[in-house]
Structure 1
Amino acid sequence: MEEDHLKAEDLQHKVIPIHMNANFFFERAVRSLDRFRYDKALKYFRKAVEYEPENPVNHCNMAGILSEMGDYEGSNAVLFDILEHVDASMTECYFYMANNFANMENFEEAERMLVKYLEEDPEGQFLEEAEEMMELFQSELERPPVKVNRIRSREGVMEHEQARALMEEGKFAQAAELLEQIVQEQPDFLAARNNLALAYYYMGLFRKAKATIAEVLELEEGNVHGLCNLAIFYQHEGDTISLNPLLRMLEVLVPFHREHVFKLATTMGILGKHEAAYRHFRRLLKDSELNGDPSLHHFTAVAAFNSGRFREAGQCWRKLQKLDPASDIPGFYLDQLERFDLTGKQGYELSYHYHLPFEEQLKRWEKDESGLCEEVKTNPMIRSSFFWALRYGDKATKLQVIRALGWIADEEVKETLETFLKEPDEPAELKNEALRVLAEMGLEDTSQAILEASAASSSSMVAETQLAYTYQGGDTLQAVVDQALLHMDETAGREQKKHLQNLWYQFLGKLYPDKPIIRHTEGWSAALEYLTSKQHGGSVTYQEVAQRYGISPSTVSRYAKRIDSVCSLKEEKDDMFCPFTENV
């Protein structure tokens, strides 16, 4: 008897107790699925739900089994219950329900569920599948798909594309406003930050542009778009000390993604590193998905030409002729290439813009104004180049642009010219021409008021700055202007001399209450003359100005860059090629 009791006791110690919980039934359900025993799997998943009714995953598993067994209505009932009573954030349930309705051939309801999924799901786990299903429903229902108000998982992406389109149309202020909103809502959206920096750059807000790029590089040190944009900004400022090491790094960079290769290629072109630009563009041409793009062949041709590879440039333009036979661009450049004296023109560089040179376009449009309007309607880059030229071109180009804008004469032209009238440093001749164009558009009174207010504001700023410095070494500061006026080129008119004085007081006003240390009056005076001449379309060099003042060209350059860094002058551009915007 005692022996039997011991055996029973030993047996009790050897029995392993079974803990019935959700995991226990989940594991058995999975084993049943592996054996394709859906009925048993469903039973075990239901038991798991009983043990953990708050766990939405168990419910989803049950809905999935019902769907596999062909009980689509039962599956949807579980999915509806999850969203209403268990976890409303399980937005993927809408996608599962769309599949169930599609299997029941209820495509109207399937489409409705899919739209709910796209509009409410933050992760976008099934985004590609959902888009494919929308195409299927369009075919089945024989009508266009229902409009999706927003794709939540792509929030900011659509707005970013809209901002990029605005920039390509030259609407930089509108693009900046949209991009600022995107960045505020999504601080890690680096593509939006990069394009915001470019929008600021095009608007002339160079300090804000640099600050925005600094934020990009703080978030991602090796961001290719950010580094390229920073290099362009350094070049604009003439900051060679910062530019050169960055340029050396970019020259040896070999990006993997094609978008980064393209950005780097265009940046190298802007910075005058045409050998590197050619190398990257050639690499892109080897990509079968890209080598049918006409603009890429033009960019490669320009990089080849600018690096002295004239034969390769001709080959690219001839290929372009076949790809885009309706375009005048390849024929124009091939004709120029035939006439070109290749022996003595090594320093001559072409613009990378994929359209005819600005001067050539104006010649053609002067003969056919309707052609201009049609070009502007169909090619937003043409309009963008107009606004870029009005902001950064030399005096002669700006005059041509103002007259050309008069042929277009739409609401955006009106806003652009009225903004131009507010610029304090633009010559009176150009402002009068802008007034004439606006008068022809029936806006003379408003524009004249803008011009007068701008002039009063400019005069007030100069007077206040002069007063501020009266008791702070004013004699020395005034001597800079006096010496510049004394040495100034005889061809300089009254308007140019007045501009020189305003530039100096603008420089002092932006520094106030600080003031520059004047140890080298001739250097500051020569720099003022050089910058003013450039602003008025002059072809003066550092060497020529330096000779008149008895100083070195490097001294003129140093002081000119100092003034420019404070005043953010609109430097003369040999071409109007803008840095390319960044995709997502």
Structure 2
Amino acid sequence: MGKDSKAMKNKGKLLSFFPTGEHYFAKGLKAYHRRDFEKANKYLQRAFQLEPGEPMIACQLALVNTEIGEYENSNVLLHLILDEMDPDMTECHYFLANNYAHLGMFKEAARYSRRYLELEEDGEFAEDAEDLLELLYLEGVDEEDELFEEDDLMLKQEEARGLLEAGHFLKAIEMLEVIVEEYPEYWSAYNNLALAHFYLGHPERAHGVLADVLERNPGNLHALCNLLVFAHYRKDREEIDRLIGVLSKVKPLLVEHQFKLGASFALAGEYKLAFDWLKKLYKSGYEGDGPFYYWFSYAAYHIGKEDLAQSLWQKVIAISPDKEGAEPWGENAAEAGLEDLPQTILQKLDSVHSEERLFGIFLISVSPSREELLASAEDSRSNGLTAVEREYLAYLKTGSHSSIADAHQTAETLYGSAYPISEDEAGLYQLWFTIYGEARAKGLSLKNHHAWAAAVEYIWLKCENEKTSMQELAGRYDLSAATVRKYVKMAESCLE
């Protein structure tokens, strides 16, 4: 051993650092005080993911959402604090009042201002709450005023929409069912109810809701567009063509309807129709949000207007930096895989086969809708999952050390060369999770993720009658042929 060996031995150990929710909360708070709300939002979201039961983190995240104009998201968090986390955080009542005033929901703003003053007559925000009430009264707001008799409906609809966007589909369904019972012709709620059922993996119920809408309100544009979206995810070409034929004849006047139509055409791959509607909005001076520019860029690119597509994509990135890499001309813009289909993923979680449920959880980890799907899985499916499957969900949510990590990392190794995941390739992953269950029961070491991945792919290709060799897979996974052979034998023993 060389002369430096002693020095090498005396060097300190490399310590692992696992950031906690408190760590990200502190970073988010610093960014907030610097008024760098983009970074504050990023850090606080991570803190909330790590410690979802901590009301101080949720409250600070709500304040950041208010600062960036995401008042509905802020309200969802504030209601969550008061309803489930810490009802004694009375300041949340004032924060809600402030948000509702920004949303134009003045009756609710007055109600929460008064509630805060009832609880904290001399509180930190008492003077602000009194000023807000005075302003509301000057505007003629009276809790009994007929002008605000529909505030309750607006409030419930906004809350339900927030739950839907956050992936809390069961809670959204409960609220939307109350709305449609109280307001049987409020079609917007029916359409959101159909979406909630669809994303929860119940397409029959979703279709039933839309059929009811179209029977009682023929030609309802949102219902027809939602049917087109559902048909696209089912890859039902006949139904897609039928709905395109119907919708291509529609000429909506409302801006909201024009955007819904254009975005639905784009999602279904009807880019020329999509471009015509989205361009019409653009030329009229429509100030769109991220989804508008996203679909407009895709439509422009796919009809050959690449310069316009790139210009529009800059607006997408400015609004949603996380979309970087998803541009229509990039590698990630290929045909959607199973990981892009929330309904399919949730259906897999309802399977009677454990390996398919584990595969469904892996799909959540690589899905663009990861957070929403995690929330939905925890809300509605945890009772039907095994201890291992619940452990897997917890691992995805917290990133904490877990024995399931080896299974996940081997699946990720497979994903490196088999994505997006087609229906045919689903068998590869389900084979791995079948082998994993037996290997875990036998106490086999699962640490060599590349070796297990090579072995699983070898067995799967043989089953598919595709020619390959252990030597070829060894080269691809940077292993020796002997190692691949060893792990193939272990994998096969798990299938006997």
Band the TM-score falls in, shorter-chain normalisation: 0.3 to 0.5
Q: Which is greater in Rg?
A: 1
TM-score scaled to structure 2, two decimals?
A: 0.45
